[in-house]
């Protein structure tokens, strides 16, 4: 069957060059510019337009009903097209390539909404593989810069989990992952009440004691001393983390493992696959071990990567086993993740919805507000599965006592302003290239939501164009936790096996919690 990907600009050349799909492309001169509304790109946004860091975000939505294109276009007119980034062209000054601006234009939705009707009887592969290959082929292409940098693909094919699959592809310069997912969610409504926005769980602040007494005064004194010591500790940790970040940029590399990215990995296509696990089971482990959901998620990741690498190191050699004492892993593997931290105060779904529906200005700004944290993974097999979560918690607790994310974001902005985007991009790419994994964690709605009247069964965000051969995105949705991996197949040829290892690791951790009696008296 002919490839479903037709009219897109290919990211690589050679024998695998894709036949372009017809998206009725217009030349930039054909777009009608709106009366002089321009805005310069932020320093961070400019990083994403370097050829070595040309990152695209892909938000996959699987729905319970077949998607009709016309209602979707009508809904987008009232929502997404009310956001200035999605109605702006990227304009670069011919004499100064560093001078980049967003220029408002009128959008022709026919250029941005691509619909694929699939006759399932004609498929030579499973529907799931068809969708997976479609996205893989698309990841070899760049968004057309002669029009606003986004498109929506609708694939009407029945898969194991859904009746249709749609995915929104957006250039990362339009906003960070949290902003883009929040904007997408602001275009949805709860299926139980189509007037209500999705509900995103937030951290609850502990109530502060009121009143005053001598005992409270003494207690508060110790509180102030404790906070002062914590601040000093955070400053010292930040200095250490900053020095480690600079060393990583200059020379300090991860151990070369079978998962290491090959040269020029950023220009390779990405295989994006996912696995759904039960969020209630994660909460059971969280409550039993008195940790956070993030601690459990990172523990699962650490365990899964250890299992996967143990198998890969045994290829072509004698298999020594898969226990703590006998295994195939080299000692002291250095494997770190570039953990992307959102620095926004909140998701801002209500503000985004108001901005699109009422034309109000969004509070808190828009764009890329995130920093990087270098998070080390302990790659080793453990006989007690709970050790993975305990080790992950210790690592995360240490990283929480640091301003590393804030400092790295400020560093990127300063580098762009002083030395230009080329230098700042080179520094960022070095940080990603000298580590092994890119990791993000996004909180999703607590109730079922609908996209243009179509109930969503799962959300799976991914990305391509990053230097890391492995990117892991964890997304919660209702009672589901979706683990999404975006892989360069030249480094990780079997991403489904990696997902199997994540799922197996989680089941072992959950079973260990039950066997040790940690869940009694817990609901």
The residues carrying an active-site annotation are 172
- In this structure, are residues 335 and 436 in contact, taking their beta carbons and an 8 Å threshold? yes
Q: To the nearest 10°, the Cα dihedral for 62, 64, 69, 75?
A: -90
Q: Which residues contact 307 (CB under 8 A, 6 or more apart)?
A: 322, 381, 501, 504, 505
Angle at 275 between CA 193 and CA 302, to 5 degrees: 120
Angle at 403 between CA 399 and CA 404, to 5 degrees: 70
Q: Which residues pair with 102 in a beta bridge?
A: 39, 90
Q: Which residues pair with 276 in a beta bridge?
A: 482
**Count of beta carbons in the 10 Å neighbourhood of residue 277:** 20
The torsion angles phi and psi of 505, rounded to 5 degrees, stand at -60, -40
| Spatial distance between the Cα atoms of 504 and 512, rounded to a whole number of angstroms | 12
- In this structure, are residues 4 and 167 in contact, taking their beta carbons and an 8 Å threshold? no
- In this structure, are residues 348 and 363 in contact, taking their beta carbons and an 8 Å threshold? yes
Among 380, 229, 234, CA closest to 303: 380
Give the HSE-up count for residue 31: Cα atoms under 13 Å, Cβ half-sphere.
26
Residues in the chain: 523
Among 499, 457, 440, 509, CA closest to 281: 509
Q: Which residues contact 98 (CB under 8 A, 6 or more apart)?
A: 46, 420, 421
β pairing state of 271-278 and 150-156: unpaired
Q: Which residues contact 415 (CB under 8 A, 6 or more apart)?
A: 423, 424, 427
| Spatial distance between the Cα atoms of 338 and 429, rounded to a whole number of angstroms | 11
SS3 463: strand
Helix axes 279-289, 293-313, angle to 10 degrees: 100
Centroid of chain to Cα 465: 12
- In this structure, are residues 458 and 423 in contact, taking their beta carbons and an 8 Å threshold? no
| Spatial distance between the Cα atoms of 259 and 265, rounded to a whole number of angstroms | 12
| Spatial distance between the Cα atoms of 464 and 460, rounded to a whole number of angstroms | 14
Cα separations (Å) of 149 from 42, 140, 174, 352?
A: 16, 16, 8, 19
| Spatial distance between the Cα atoms of 348 and 178, rounded to a whole number of angstroms | 10
């Amino acid at each position: 069957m002919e490839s479903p990907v037709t009219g897109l600009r290919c990211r690589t050349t050679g024998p695998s060059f894709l036949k372009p799909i017809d998206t009725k492309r217009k030349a930039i001169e054909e777009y009608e510019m709106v009366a002089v509304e321009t805005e310069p790109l932020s320093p961070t946004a400019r990083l994403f337009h370097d050829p070595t860091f040309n990152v695209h975000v892909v938000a996959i939505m699987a729905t319970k009903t077949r998607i009709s294109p016309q209602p979707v276009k009508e809904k987008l007119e009232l929502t997404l097209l009310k956001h200035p980034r999605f109605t702006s062209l990227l304009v670069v000054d011919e004499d100064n390539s560093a001078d980049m601006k967003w220029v408002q234009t009128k959008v022709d939705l026919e250029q941005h909404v691509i619909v694929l009707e699939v006759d399932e009887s004609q498929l030579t592969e499973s529907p799931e593989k068809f969708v997976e290959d479609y996205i893989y082929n698309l990841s070899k292409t760049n968004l057309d810069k002669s029009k606003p940098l986004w498109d929506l693909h609708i694939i009407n094919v029945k898969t194991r989990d859904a009746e249709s699959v749609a995915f929104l592809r957006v250039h990362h310069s339009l906003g960070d992952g949290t902003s883009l997912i929040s904007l997408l969610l602001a275009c949805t409504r709860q299926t139980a009440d189509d007037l209500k926005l999705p509900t995103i769980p937030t951290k609850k602040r502990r109530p502060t004691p009121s009143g005053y007494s001598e005992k409270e005064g003494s207690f508060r004194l110790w509180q102030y001393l404790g906070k002062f010591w914590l601040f000093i500790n955070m400053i010292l940790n930040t200095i250490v983390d900053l020095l480690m970040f600079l060393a990583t940029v200059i020379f300090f590399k991860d151990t070369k493992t079978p998962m290491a990215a090959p040269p020029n990995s950023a220009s390779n296509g990405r295989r994006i696959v996912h696995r759904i696990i039960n969020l209630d089971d994660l909460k059971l482990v969280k409550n039993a071990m008195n940790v956070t959901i993030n601690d459990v998620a990172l523990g699962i990741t650490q365990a899964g990567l250890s299992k996967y690498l143990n198998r890969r190191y045994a290829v072509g050699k004698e298999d020594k086993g898969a226990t703590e004492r006998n295994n195939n892993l080299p000692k002291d593997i250095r494997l770190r993740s570039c953990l992307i931290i959102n620095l926004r105060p909140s998701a801002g779904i209500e503000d985004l919805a108001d901005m699109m529906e009422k034309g109000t200005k969004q509070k808190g700004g828009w764009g890329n507000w995130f920093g990087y944290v270098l998070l080390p993974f302990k790659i080793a097999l453990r006989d007690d599965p709970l050790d993975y979560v305990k080790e992950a918690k210790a690592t995360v607790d240490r990283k929480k006592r640091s301003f590393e994310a804030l400092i790295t974001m400020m560093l990127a902005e300063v580098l762009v302003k002083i030395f230009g985007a080329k230098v700042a991009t080179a520094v960022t790419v070095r940080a990603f290239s000298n580590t092994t994994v890119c990791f993000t964690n996004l909180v999703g709605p607590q109730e079922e939501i609908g996209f243009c009247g179509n109930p969503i069964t799962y959300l799976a965000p991914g990305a391509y164009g990053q230097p890391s051969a492995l990117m892991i995105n964890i997304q919660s949705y209702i009672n589901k936790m979706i683990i999404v991996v975006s892989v360069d197949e030249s480094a990780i040829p079997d991403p489904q096996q990696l997902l199997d290892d994540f799922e197996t690791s989680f089941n072992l951790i959950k079973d260990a919690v039950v066997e040790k009696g940690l869940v009694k008296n817990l609901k």
